[in-house]
Amino acid sequence: MNRGAVIPVIAIDGPSASGKGTVAKQVARALGWRYLDSGALYRLVALAAIESSVGWEDAARLAEIAGRLDVRFEGEEIWLAGRRATDAIRTEACSIGASRCAAVPAVRNALLDRQRRFREAPGLVAEGRDMGSVVFPDAALKVFLTASAEARAERRHKQLIDKGIPANIQTLLRDLQERDARDAERPVAPLKQLPDARLLDTTRLTVDEAVAQVLGWYRERAGAA
């Protein structure tokens, strides 16, 4: 039996700070499904690499870290090697490091099966950059969620300031633009909208509007199945 036909997946891909995490969480909550933040896994690899002084060019060591990652997700909390890492992985250093790690094919391979194991009944909402193209190519619904670089920089700036972390909006904008280029140009699983993915630009949408659109698309797709 095709497992994908039994356990549906909504794959939400898009660039950094586009709001896909917030939207994916709320869609999962509305449907009563599991939620996968694939970016958190790459951030965890980056955090472990930083703490072990492993360089971004050391593909073998990064893949080793990814392969033996001792991580646990408990609701909103994330644990690495038995200690809370929820806030530590949200720093800009980890954000940039995650993008570097994600460009390493061996790291992506090491995390592939771990991500697919999140697929459990009654369904999964997975967000990242290659959820629809590589991890769950048979997803029931694929969404490419984006926003202008300026809007995303403003959102990231607000998130950091609200957490008491100093941030410069121009620096954030430059970092986002550089990450967009790096993610789109990497040779393995580049960030792009798939032909069968629905485009959702959230630049001028509220979170509730974006969530409603994704739910509407899924129910439309499920009703036609």
Instruction: Output 118 or 223, whichever has higher pLDDT.
Output: 118
Residue 124 has pLDDT above 90, yes or no: yes
Q: What is the largest CA-CA distance in the chain?
A: 52
Residue 23 has pLDDT above 50, yes or no: yes
Residue 1 is predicted with a pLDDT of 35
For residue 184, CA distances in Å to 14, 40, 99, 178, 191 come to 10, 19, 11, 10, 5
pLDDT digits (tens, 9 = 90+) for 209-218: 999 999 999 9
| Rounded mean pLDDT, 105-114 | 94
pLDDT digits (tens, 9 = 90+) for 34-87: 999 999 999 999 999 999 999 999 999 999 999 999 999 988 899 999 999 999
| Rounded mean pLDDT, 159-183 | 88
Sheet holding 34-37, edge to edge: 34-37, 124-128, 9-13, 141-146, 198-201
Model confidence, pTM:
0.87
| pLDDT band of 4, cuts 50, 70, 90 | very low
C-alpha 220/C-alpha 225 separation (Å) is: 9
Residue 17 has pLDDT above 90, yes or no: no
| Rounded mean pLDDT, 141-147 | 97
Q: Residue for token digits 């990652």?
A: 69
Average pLDDT, the chain: 92
Residue 219 has pLDDT above 50, yes or no: yes
C-alpha 76/C-alpha 103 separation (Å) is: 26
Residue 3 is predicted with a pLDDT of 46
Domains of the chain, start order: 8-206 (3.40.50.300)
